[in-house]
Amino acid sequence: MLDQSIRNAILQLHEKGLRNRAIARALKVSKESVRAVLASGSAEVPTLDRAEKAAEHLDEVRRLHALCKGNLVRVHEELCVMGVDLSYPALTAFCRRHGIGHEPPKPEGHYDFRPGQEMQHDTSPHVAHLGGRERAVQTASLVYCYSRLQFFQMYPRFTRFECKVFLDEGIRYAGGAAGDCMIDNTSVVRLRGTGADMVPVPEMVAFGERYGFRFIAHEIGDANRSARVEGPFYGIERNFLAGRRFTNWEHLNHEARLWCDRLNARFSRKLHASRRELFAVERLHLKPLPVWVPEVYALHHRIVDAEGYVNVESNRYSVPYTLIGRTLEVRVTKDRIEIYEGPREEATHRREWEPTNARCTNPAHRPPRGTTSKARQVVPEQETLLRLAPEITEYVVALKAKLSGRGTVGLRRLLQMVREYPREPLVAAVKTALHYGLFDLERLERLILRQIASEYFVLPIDETEPPPSGTESDDDDEG
């Protein structure tokens, strides 16, 4: 069939007086085609009016399409059972022409971004060969919209803590933050609302203010709005994860960073430059990194158990044995566990990424080998005794060795004596008890009371007092 431009040329040449044979030779078409166009007198291409084999079954096709829930294979099978002679390609073409189960395609959107205007963040589940087995991972990606600079990492889970850790790493990788960070209404960042009405969690708002950006969200169903970050997930799955084996999470994320370096430096035919070259322009418009930013960590409070460990994320980490029973502050960073007592750091461990009931023990946190439990346990009462009465240190150590258990009850009784009785008789009684190996506290208290009675309760003789009456009567008789 001749197109509209040829038909128009035939009419124009005919108006100039050319014969049909000359027109056919000039345009390289048949004389019959020239005569047909001249007979119609119009350059419009006539529509084909051919009868459709399925036209008489239109209502039945619509009914079966709804009954079979849009499965055209089942619709074709039911039509064949009904005796309708119709091929499957003819059925699908018929449904497309009549809009049965097919919506006309919509034009895709296009977004232009200025340098430093926006970066997009999203996550996607993948499967990686990690530690000798296939396992599910959460891939977090960050893309700068103008230059398409890409950065991604993988985690066993993705909570608000992992989100802050990842964004901190991504912004440091790029050397600055864009003004806006587009998300897909994830509950990790979103407090309430969606799209333009999205309100972020105050914790994430404060995190964004630290780097000078704000969180925004696209409308639900508007996937094209976040196409910059959605597209690279296909390359991560089909290229980065394909055929690669990783020993642990550190190895996996180290390889991911190297892969991003190679991708960002590679020339892109679509961009007509490499991402790094475009980012050289965008970097001048980014929010600069603060002079100092504290490391991202999650804060917990734990009581040290009887074995000298704190439990964090189903894993146990050792602390100095002298802190047993105390409440400590635990800071969980990306790859470390930091344990504080007040302002002092007491222990640091390499963080276990997954809850495997692992025990991480530092030998320096355990008492020296060969020492008994009594000798290495210093109870508060003993510390108080040594501070209040350093003169009886030798007796306190010997007494604790004789007492059962931690000796708390006996040391508490001795501390009561130190606080109640005068120091000189107490020290004298303790020296006597230590000389004779006397560690019965009841007998020690009697020794103290005897010292007090002999030194503090002796009545002095009053010389002005008259002599006893019997003596005076004797003198009178002699006179």
CA pair distance 55, 61, nearest whole angstrom: 9
The reported pLDDT for the residue numbered 465 is 56
Mean pLDDT confidence for 348-360: 92
Tell how strand 315-318 and strand 359-360 pair up: parallel
Please report, for the chain, the start and end positions of each structural domain, with discontinuous segments joined by +. Answer: 4-40, 55-97, 118-288, 298-365, 373-456
Higher pLDDT, 407 or 447: 447
pTM value?
0.63
SS3 336: strand
Nearest CA to 399 among 374, 366, 368? 374
Residues 6+ apart with CB under 8 A from 64: 74, 75, 78, 79
Domain 118-288 has CATH 2.60.120.10: no
Mean pLDDT confidence for 337-356: 92
Mean pLDDT confidence for 234-256: 94
Q: Helical H runs in 225-287? A: 227-230, 232-235, 249-265, 275-282
Among 37-46, 65-74, 173-182, 384-393, the range scoring the smallest mean pLDDT is 37-46
The reported pLDDT for the residue numbered 472 is 47
Q: Residue 263 — pLDDT band, cuts 50, 70, 90?
A: very high
Higher pLDDT, 383 or 471: 383
User: Which range has the top average pLDDT, 143-147, 321-325, 453-457?
Assistant: 143-147
Tokens of 136: 């599910």
The reported pLDDT for the residue numbered 112 is 86
The reported pLDDT for the residue numbered 467 is 57
pLDDT tens sequence across 451-474 = 888 766 555 555 555 555 544 444
Mean pLDDT confidence for 230-258: 94
